[in-house]
Amino acid sequence: MNFLARLLRFLFWLLVVSWGVALLRRAVGWLLRGAAPRAGANGGGGEVARRLQRDPLCGTHVSEEIAFPLREGGNTLYFCSEKCRQEYASSQRYAANG
């Protein structure tokens, strides 16, 4: 029975290690994919989906998908938060009036 217990323990660790390796490979793949767009080696705009926009009020870079947009004079500005957008809009209004 001692042999069976050792075998079961061996199989358990085999499972744990293979799971860990799979997790590590996924993490490495994710890191490599995250670092890739900066190089842009194989040219041709393929990475339009994840474009970063700069918040003109506080300077934070924010993705278009999660940003708070504000249309102004034909082009769209992107803000990191509702607070930044409102603050910017009110400051523009004061500038226009005064």
Residues 56-75 contacting Zn ion, CB under 5 A:
58, 60
Nearest Cα to 85, choosing from 50, 58, 53? 58
Based on the shown chain and the rule CB under 5 A, indicate whether residue 84 belongs to the binding site for Zn ion: yes
CA-to-CA dists, residue 28 to 25, 32, 33, 79, angstroms = 5, 6, 9, 31
Q: Which is nearer to Zn ion, 20 or 56 (CB)?
A: 56
Pick out residues in 6-45 that bind Zn ion (CB under 5 A).
none
Q: How far is the CB of 79 from Zn ion (least distance, A)?
A: 5
Q: Which is nearer to Zn ion, 77 or 84 (CB)?
A: 84
